[in-house]
Amino acid sequence: MKLLKKISALLESKKKGRGSFSVFAEKMKQEPCYRASQLGFGAGKKTFLEKLKDRIRQRKPAGIVKTDRRREGANRRRFLLLSLVSTVTLLGVYLVLAGPLEGYLENCHYFQIRKIEISGCRVTTPAVLKKFAEINYQMNMLTLDPEVIQQRLQDHPWISLAKIRRIWPDELAVSVNEYSPEALVVQGKEKGFYYLDKSGKIFAPVVQGMALDFPVVTGLDTVEESEGKEEVLARAMSFLRLAQRNNPNLPAQNVSEIHLTGEGEMILYLVKHPFPIYFGEGDIKRKYYQLCKVLEVLYQKKKGGALIQKVAYIRMDYQENKVLVAQSSTG
């Protein structure tokens, strides 16, 4: 009977939600909550086995490292050997085919030159330059060397600069810049005439039939050092550039000769008047404008004619800012 009473009491407690099996649950409801990481297990902290596995993955055995290095060294040697064999093979193929290939390109009619245009000629002519530079219609666009042709053209005494342009497939365009003569210079054992450009460069001999209407520079052979010659020529060309401003009293066409002495001094001669004008060495610009003023006075006509007809010589280097005008004995 007692046993039946206990069983009925236990069933009654289960119906009401109480009993010994729910005591732990009731206690957990009354206690504060804790996270899995605070309890020392779950997603917030790795287990011992997981840590051990990670350590094994990170640490590589020494034998495996040595094996990998050996493999890398073998791969590197294999790559170098393959590169060497490829290079030798390509070189051999080129040496075998270079001759026949070059011959084929030379005989390829599609790229044979059919049109040659040369522009910029004033003194020279396209026909002369073609012959001088060996430019012809037998040349091939693929095998010609523009730099070689350019250098040949620039070796011509009248050509200062040449440019070569290939217009595919069969046209060659050549443009040249010629030197521009500003004066003549007498030099050499035969005392021949040569052209001078504005910088004082001697570039071409004067041949029969060419222009001679330029001022003449003489006495260059008396200047000993080559550096001295360049300096003296530069001063002479500086004076001629000033004269090209065509001052009415001293235009460029009125300059007949500039004589250079062994000491590097300049002596000027005019076209219509034979007397010398001593310029000395330096300060060319100041002396040029002083001479223009002096000539303006000397060209004035007075009784008996202009004063310049009685001049024996003029010294621009007489004293600083002073010019000496000497008269002839008849004056």
Query: What is the mean predicted confidence (pLDDT) over 153-158?
Result: 97
State how many domains the chain has.
2
Same domain, 243 and 302: yes
Q: Which of 124, 143, 178 corresponds to the end of one domain?
A: 178
CATH number of domain containing 262: 3.40.50.11690
- Mean pLDDT over the full length of the chain: 81
- For residue 263, the model assigns a pLDDT of 87
Q: What is the pLDDT of residues 185-238, one digit of tens each?
A: 998 777 899 999 998 999 999 998 899 999 999 999 888 776 688 889 999 999
Least confident of 18-32, 175-189, 240-254, 292-306: 18-32
Query: What is the mean predicted confidence (pLDDT) over 141-154?
Result: 94
Q: Which of 137, 157, 178 corresponds to the end of one domain?
A: 178
Query: What is the mean predicted confidence (pLDDT) over 276-281?
Result: 92
- For residue 85, the model assigns a pLDDT of 76
Helix (H) or strand (E) holding 327: strand 322-327
> 306 — phi, psi (to 5°)?
-75, 150
What global pTM score does this model have?
0.65
Interior angle at CA 200, CA 196 and CA 201, nearest 5: 70
82 vs 76: CA distance, rounded Å: 10
- For residue 89, the model assigns a pLDDT of 76
Tokens 């044979």 locate to 112
For residue 150, the Cα-to-chain-centroid distance in whole angstroms is 17
**Is 56 a domain residue?**
no
Same domain, 165 and 277: no
Q: Identify the residue with better confidence: 96 or 143.
A: 143
**Is 119 a domain residue?**
yes
Same domain, 231 and 165: no
Tokens 């000027």 locate to 268
Q: What is the pLDDT of residues 10-67, one digit of tens each?
A: 556 555 554 444 444 454 455 455 454 444 444 455 676 676 666 666 655 555 555 6
- Give the pLDDT band of residue 136 (cuts 50, 70, 90): very high
Least confident of 107-116, 258-267, 273-282: 107-116
Q: What is the pLDDT of residues 84-101, one digit of tens each?
A: 777 877 766 655 555 555
170 vs 142: CA distance, rounded Å: 10
- For residue 23, the model assigns a pLDDT of 47
Structural domain of residue 323, as residue ranges? 183-327
Cβ neighbours of 169 (radius 10 Å): 13
- For residue 36, the model assigns a pLDDT of 46
Q: Which of 178, 203, 237 corresponds to the end of one domain?
A: 178
200 vs 240: CA distance, rounded Å: 11
Query: What is the mean predicted confidence (pLDDT) over 243-256?
Result: 92
- For residue 4, the model assigns a pLDDT of 58
**What is the DSSP code string of 121-186?**
-SSS-HHHHHHHHT--TT-BTTT--HHHHHHHHHTSTTEEEEEEEEETTTEEEEEEEE----EEEE
Same domain, 137 and 221: no
Same domain, 218 and 289: yes
- For residue 70, the model assigns a pLDDT of 74
- For residue 331, the model assigns a pLDDT of 47
- For residue 76, the model assigns a pLDDT of 80
Same domain, 203 and 296: yes
Percent of the chain at pLDDT exceeding 70: 72
139 has pLDDT over 80 = yes
Same domain, 138 and 225: no
Same domain, 251 and 159: no
Same domain, 170 and 189: no
Same domain, 126 and 231: no
